[in-house]
Chains A and B, each alone.
Chain A
């Protein structure tokens, strides 16, 4: 009997709370808020908050044109695989010491799972065979490489800082990080963690392909880059996975750096996390989006591998010497 119950509860986690429905709604909401804030920063009224939802359903209603040259199966399967991986990451991220699937909620697993959505987009673009998509995927891959170094340094720094405090050498499991933060306050207030937090925040726009770092899908230069040949439902799923990726990364930031502020009740914690995500979005992601122009791809790479990685390296060294 308890096995069935467990299975049901697990299914509930997958479908409802940290799983699909939560990601779908909160991701769209977050994306809507972000677009509205960017518009307000440009003295525009900006679209209604639910605009991404309208976009999603409109795209669902549109006809899907698969180019004759494209490889049909990969063309249709790629967006769904990307979305699935994102939802799995969301399940691993703890919401103030509650994690749906704690078994192996490990930073390195999250780091590698973050690769799958980007890869899904790349192979989707490759399958279409359009030259715009080719250029787009080459730029997306360079963006992934450039975002990888800072992410690695940040995760190692966090692992080391928590490891020092707990004394068990190194900690990679997100659950122990959340538990540590539950007792003695969120990690952000430690001296060594501030540069890491900044570095992670600067990586979020790069990882999700937001404005200044969206050389991969620059609609002016290479006609929507990787998604040039996508229309209808696959495009809707890609737009959805963009939104969910934004949610995943910000909730990862909240889990890593703003850990200890949860109350324990699942729903309230969820709302608090979402509130923090919105605050992060407003004061960082939207601000960068509204006030900068698009970077060329090699400037993006140089920027990430010098400035942002430098910040993360500083925090790693500080964490190493026990701050």
Chain B
């Protein structure tokens, strides 16, 4: 009955749940700073919630260490669908400087389908904001299409020019409207 409003609202009120998979806390304070008055993610509906049951978007930060791997996966499993998984910072994507250490279990994408990667060793709050907004739209997309693997074209991907040598020119201006 409220199918359309539900899909629309899914995009408009994404609740975040932050999972620290062994991070150096650089990304953690950046994620929280997104909710402070200067960047105020709440004005587009973001809210940090305490339990994965309430969450829509899981923000994972830190190289997934051997100790935190089972816990991260269990928490991600407990998030009800439709859900998005966002990795903040380059650690979850590749293990960054800790890549070959004995206690790092490698990128998160080895275990779970990651929807949005926000690169940067401590990405800028605006970058996190972009990532989360994109995740919110993916969330709405998943709700609309019903399949969990749905994804949207990435407005921030660098333009693929034909010939190799030409240096990548300035990327297209971003059109991410909220």
- Partner of B6 from A47, A61, A65, A220 at Cβ < 8 Å: A61
Task: Given A62-B80, A224-B51, verify A43-B45 contact (CB < 8 Å).
Answer: no
CB neighbours (8 Å) of A307 from chain B are none
**Which residues of the partner chain A approach B9 to less than 8 Å between Cβ atoms?**
53-58, 61
Min Cβ gap A216→B in Å is: 13
Interface stretch among B35-43, B99-107, B117-125, B157-165? B35-43
A129 within 8 A of B: no
**In-complex Cβ contact of B43 among A45, A57, A227, A231 (8 A):** A45
Asked if B50 is at the interface of the complex by the 8 Å CB criterion, the answer is yes
Inside 8 A of A55's CB, which chain B residues have their CB? 9, 13, 15, 45
Query: A residues within 8 A CB of B7?
Result: 61
User: For the complex, is A164 an interface residue (Cβ under 8 Å from B)?
Assistant: no
Contact indicator per residue, chain B 22-58, by CB within 8 Å of chain A (1) or not (0): 0000000000000001001011110011110110100
Tell me, in angstroms, the Cα distance from A132 to B49 when the chains sit together.
14
8 Å CB contacts to B: which residues of A18-60?
Answer: 35, 39, 42-48, 51, 53-58, 60
Chain B residues positioned under 8 Å from A298 (CB to CB): none
CB-CB under 8 A from A228, the residues of chain B are 50-51, 53
Query: B63 on the interface (CB 8 Å rule)?
Result: no
The reply to whether A232 and B80 form a contact with Cβ atoms under 8 Å apart is yes
B87 on interface, CB distance cutoff 8 Å = no
Instruction: Report chain B residues within 8 Å CB of A230.
Output: 53-54
Interface contact A39-B42, CB-CB below 8 Å: yes
- On chain A, the residues within 8 Å of B48 by CB distance are 219
A77 at the interface (CB under 8 A from B): no
A235 part of interface (Cβ distance < 8 Å): yes
> B2 CB to closest chain A CB, in angstroms?
6
> Are A60 and B43 in touch, CB under 8 angstroms?
no
Given A47-B43, A231-B54, the answer on whether A57 and B82 have CB atoms closer than 8 Å is: no
B5 within 8 Å of A by Cβ? yes
Query: Which residue of A62, A223, A224 is within 8 Å of B81 (Cβ)?
Result: A62
Verify A44–B40 contact, CB threshold 8 A. yes
Which of B45, B50, B82 is in CB contact (< 8 Å) with A47? B45
Shortest distance in angstroms between B58's beta carbon and chain A's nearest beta carbon?
14
CA distance A161 to B80 in the complex (A): 53
Determine how close the nearest CB of chain B comes to the CB of A128; give it in whole angstroms: 10
On chain A, the residues within 8 Å of B15 by CB distance are 55
- Enumerate chain B residues within 8 angstroms of A183, measured Cβ to Cβ: none
The one of A39, A219, A220, A229 in contact with B40, judged by C-beta atoms closer than 8 angstroms, is A39
Interface of A with B (CB < 8 Å)? Answer: 35, 39, 42-48, 51, 53-58, 60-65, 132, 218-220, 222-224, 227-232, 235
Nearest 7 interchain pairs by C-beta: A219-B50, A57-B9, A61-B6, A231-B53, A54-B9, A54-B13, A63-B80
Inter-chain pairs besides A47-B42, A62-B56, A230-B53, 8 sampled, C-beta below 8 Å: A44-B40, A57-B9, A61-B9, A132-B51, A219-B51, A222-B50, A224-B49, A229-B53
CB pairs A–B below 8 angstroms (20 shown): A39-B42, A39-B43, A42-B37, A45-B40, A45-B42, A47-B43, A48-B43, A48-B45, A51-B12, A54-B13, A55-B15, A60-B2, A60-B6, A62-B56, A64-B80, A218-B50, A219-B50, A219-B51, A227-B51, A227-B54
